[in-house]
Chain A
Amino acid sequence: MSTETQALGPETEALRVEHLHASYEKHAVLIDVNLTVARGEWVALLGPNASGKSTLLHCVAGMMAPKSGRVTICGHSLRDDPRGAKAKFGFACAPERLPALLTGRQCLEIYAAAKGLPSIDADVLRLAESFQYLPMLDRFVGAYSLGTRQKLAVLLALLGEPQLIVLDEAFNGLDPASSLALKHHLRARVSEGKCSVLLATHALDIVERYADRAALLLNGRIAHEWRKEELTAMRAQSEEGFEAALAAVAAEAEAR
Chain B
Amino acid sequence: MPRWLQARPFLFAGVLSWSNFQRQHRAVLPALAVLLLISSGLLALPVVGHLLEIAAQFPVTPFVLLAAGCAVATAHRKTSVYRTLVDSWLAPLAAPASIFVRMALVPVLQLILLMLAISIPAVVGSLSLKAAITLWLVVGAAYGAGCFVGWMVSHDKSAGAPAFHYVTVRKPRACWAQAPRLEPLSYWAMGQTRVSTKPKVTAGAVLFVLLALPMGTGGGKAIAIAAGAWVVLHLAALDVSAIRVAFSAARWLTPTTVRYLPFTVALGYRTVVAQLWACGWVVFLTCGVALTGALRIGLISTAECLISSCGAIGVASWLAMRSAGMVGKRGGMDGGGVR
A positions within 8 Å CB-CB of B: 24-27, 55, 58, 61-65, 82-87, 89-91, 93, 97-99, 101-103, 106-107, 110-111, 113-116, 140, 153, 156
| B15-53 CB contacts (< 8 Å) to partner A | 16-17, 20-21
Whole-angstrom distance between the Cβ of B140 and the nearest chain A Cβ: 34
Whole-angstrom distance between the Cβ of B24 and the nearest chain A Cβ: 8
- Contact string against A for B residues 155-166, beta-carbon threshold 8 Å, 1 for contact and 0 otherwise: 000111110101
Establish whether residues B93 and A93, one from each chain, have CB atoms under 8 Å apart when the complex forms.
no
Establish whether residues A91 and B92, one from each chain, have CB atoms under 8 Å apart when the complex forms.
yes
Q: Select the residue from B13, B86, B166 with max chain A CB neighbours within 10 A.
A: B13
Residue B256 lies at the interface, judged by CB distance under 8 Å to chain A:
no
- Size range of the interface on B? 20 to 34
- Contact string against A for B residues 4-22, beta-carbon threshold 8 Å, 1 for contact and 0 otherwise: 0011110011001100110
Give the nearest-CB partner of A25 in chain B. Answer: B166
Residue B232 lies at the interface, judged by CB distance under 8 Å to chain A:
no
Whole-angstrom distance between the Cβ of B96 and the nearest chain A Cβ: 9
Residues in chain B near residue A111, CB distance under 8 A:
9, 93
| B141-186 CB contacts (< 8 Å) to partner A | 158-162, 164, 166
Closest A-B pairs by Cβ, 8 of them: A86-B94, A113-B6, A91-B92, A114-B9, A65-B159, A114-B95, A87-B94, A101-B17
Give the nearest-CB partner of B9 in chain A. Answer: A114
Establish whether residues A102 and B16, one from each chain, have CB atoms under 8 Å apart when the complex forms.
yes
Q: DSSP majority for the B interface?
A: loop
Establish whether residues B166 and A93, one from each chain, have CB atoms under 8 Å apart when the complex forms.
no
- Contact string against A for B residues 259-291, beta-carbon threshold 8 Å, 1 for contact and 0 otherwise: 000000000000000000000000000000000
Q: Select the residue from B87, B92, B164 with max chain A CB neighbours within 10 A.
A: B92
Establish whether residues A102 and B91, one from each chain, have CB atoms under 8 Å apart when the complex forms.
no
Whole-angstrom distance between the Cβ of B158 and the nearest chain A Cβ: 6
Residues in chain B near residue A97, CB distance under 8 A:
87-89
Establish whether residues A93 and B164, one from each chain, have CB atoms under 8 Å apart when the complex forms.
no
Q: How long is the Cα–Cα vector from A39 to B20 in the complex, in angstroms?
A: 41
Establish whether residues A93 and B86, one from each chain, have CB atoms under 8 Å apart when the complex forms.
no
Establish whether residues A116 and B7, one from each chain, have CB atoms under 8 Å apart when the complex forms.
yes
Q: Select the residue from A84, A87, A93 with max chain B CB neighbours within 10 A.
A: A93
Q: How long is the Cα–Cα vector from A171 to B274 in the complex, in angstroms?
A: 46
B17 is contacted by which of A99, A113, A114 (Cβ under 8 Å)?
A99
